[in-house]
Structures are given as C-alpha cells and as structure tokens.
Amino acid sequence: MSKTIAFIGLGIMGLPMAKNLVNAGFTVRGYNRSPEKVADLAAAGGQAAGTIAEAVDGADVIITMVPDSPDVEDVLTGDEGILAHAKAGAYWIDNSTIRPDVAKNLSAQAAQKGLKPLDAPVSGGEAGAINGALSIMVGGDKGDFDAVSDVFDAVGKTIVLVGPSGSGQTVKAANQLIVAGNIELLAEAVVFLEAYGVETTSALQVLGGGLAGSKVLDQKGQKMLDRSFDPGFRLELHHKDMGIVTAAAREAGVAIPLGSAVAQLVASTVQQGNGGLDHSGLLTVVEQLSGKNQD
Ligand code: NAP
C-alpha cells in the first residue's frame, strides 16, 4: 500500500520535492507556515493541510524541510508540533540542513516518542529538487533507511546511509565547506579574467573541460558573468552552514583555515545586505576586495 507522507516546509526546495513525491504516487499532505504555498502543492495533486497536526495525522512518513536548527526544533517539539500529533512508528525524515549535535538530540527525542528518525540533508540545489536528482546523505538506522528507500528514490539520485543519527548532517557540513570554497575561487577567477579583458564565456567553457571543471562552475559560472543572483540557495543559508561547519570543526579539534576565511567573506556579504542573493553572489564581495563594484 502506498505511503501517506506529511511534508512540512514548502519553500524553494520543499515544494518541488513534495511535487515529485506526488508524481511518484504517494499521498502527500503539505503544510507551510505561510499558507499560499500550500495551494501550489494542491494544484499539483497534493493535499493542503492548515496545521502540522492535520498534516501528520496518521501519516506513515513525515518530512521536514525548513531553514535552521531552531526551526526544526519548533516544528518537532512545539505544542502543536510533530511529536504531539504523529502516530507511533512513523518515519521522520529531516531534509533540512541543521547542526549535527541538534540533529542527534532531536532524533533521540523523536525515537523516545516512538518515531523512526533519519537526518537526511540534501545537495543539488533547486535544480536537483525539481529534477528529482538530489544527493542525500542519511544518518540513522539501516532498517529505517531501507524501509523508506522508495521515498528517497522519488526525490534523489545518489542516496547513501553514512552512519548513525547526526552523521548525515556532518557530511552535509563538509559538503557546504567544499561548495563555498569552490564558489569563492570561481568568483576570484571571474574577477581575474575580467581584469584582463578575456572573453569570459569562452574562458569558463574551456576551464569547465579540464581539471578546473566542477558542478559549481557549470551551475554558477554564467550566473556570475551575468550578475544574475536570483536564488537558488540564499547566501544567508550558506552563512548558517558555514557557522555549522566552523563550530563543528572547532568542536572536533580540526583546523579549517581556508573554510574559515571563506566563512568570513560569506558573513561580510550577508552583513552588506546581500543575504537574499544566490550564493554565487559571493562574487559581489570578491569584486569589492579589488576595488570593483563600488557603487
Ligand atoms: P526556503 O525557500 O526559505 O524555505 C523554507 C521553508 O520553511 C519555507 O516554506 C518557510 O515558510 C518554512 N519555515 C521557515 N521557518 C519556519 C518555522 N520556524 N516553522 C515552520 N516553517 C518554517 O528555504 P530552502 O532554500 O527551501 O531551504 C530549506 C533547507 O534546505 C535549508 O536548511 C537549506 O539550508 C537546505 N538546502 C537548500 C538548498 C537550496 O538550493 N535552496 C539546497 C540544499 C539544502 P514561509 O513560507 O512561511 O517562510
């Protein structure tokens, strides 16, 4: 029998993921804090829920996709949250990117209430969410992971159980470190190439075919050349993630000097009022370092 899924958080990532679950044949009940977005899911064949309680009532699987650790904590443990209303034995998949220690702690609370928790942050951006091609790094129990593989398959392509609760978030923190570093160096290369008046589209084309090539270059290069920074993945969310990885590295006694420098540049971009730009908008601060883009 097909599973009933409650989907909480229909933002840039959540809405297309929920639509892919509908298309895969699941019954999907969506809840969003601001109710307009629920209508989009209903128009695509999902069901609109006005409250978290209504969404999770009797659901076999509950998915959360909200911004940050306090938000997941709210929707899980709040008076009208998931734990107060979910049926025992339901799977709780958290696709949000949050602190690994918080994920571990919330998973323990959920398990104590009879839920089966999996921390399962994703990578692949809005395009990956729309195309059902996300990379999903999962922390939790192997039996629980296997039991919801049909759900993961509907939204992702590379789906890997990486360890016990919290491990998915640890791997995602490493992911965000690598992506931010890539974006930073790509931005430096763009500013460098433009300073020499090189034909930048051709330059990125040839760079993309060699060892300098990357998914970041493929997906973000042209956006930088066009100064087209509609999100995508907002810099304020990457700022959150750089906070997660720098704190977790410190906690583990691991030095990440380049990552820390990039974290400061991301923080500066956000402080200048550009947190709503796509993370390729890191280019704005890299330009300023060389006296460009001063207006
Ligand atoms: P988003 O567009 O801002 O969507 C977040 C959703 O969560 C919105 O629907 C928002 O509701 C809801 N929300 C926020 N705070 C809430 C709260 N306290 N209680 C209940 N609902 C709340 O963000 P997103 O880009 O989809 O990102 C979601 C998560 O995925 C984040 O952890 C992010 O780091 C991660 N992620 C994003 C991308 C990407 O490319 N965007 C890629 C990989 C991972 P409202 O509509 O009311 O604001």
Residues 93, 90: Cα–Cα separation, whole Å: 10
- Label the pairing between strands 134-140 and 156-163: parallel
159: β partners: 136
pLDDT digits (tens, 9 = 90+) for 126-135: 999 999 999 9
> Is 172 annotated in the active site?
yes
Over residues 6-42, the pLDDT tens digits come to 999 999 999 999 999 999 999 999 999 999 999 999 9
Q: 43-52: per-residue pLDDT in tens?
A: 999 999 999 9
Residue boundaries of the structural domains of the chain: 4-163, 171-289
Superfamily of domain 171-289 in the CATH hierarchy: N-(1-d-carboxylethyl)-l-norvaline Dehydrogenase; domain 2 (1.10.1040.10)
Within 6 Å (CB) of ligand 1, which residues are found?
9-14, 32-34, 37, 65-67, 71, 74-75, 96-97, 122-123, 125-126, 232-233, 237
CA of 65 to the centre of ligand 1 (A): 6
The CATH class of 4-163 is alpha beta
Q: Kindly tell me if the per-residue pLDDT of 62 is higher than 90.
A: yes
Substitution candidate for ligand 1 out of 33, 73, 277, 280 with most atoms within 8 A of CB? 33
Return the pLDDT at 293.
76
Out of 37, 104, 172, 240, pick the active-site residue.
172
Looking at residue 240, its pLDDT comes to 98
The residue among 238, 222, 219, 225 whose CA lies nearest residue 277 is: 238
Tell me the β-bridge partners of 161.
138
Instruction: Answer whether 4-163 and 171-289 agree in fold.
Output: no
Q: What is the pLDDT of residue 295?
A: 59
Q: What is the pLDDT of residues 238-272, one digit of tens each?
A: 999 999 999 999 999 999 999 999 999 999 999 99
HEC readout, 197-255: CCCHHHHHHHHHCCCCCCHHHHHHHHHHHHCCCCCCCEHHHHHHHHHHHHHHHHHHCCC
Closest C-alpha among 204, 203, 206 to residue 217: 204
69 three-state secondary structure: helix
Predicted TM-score (pTM) of this structure: 0.96
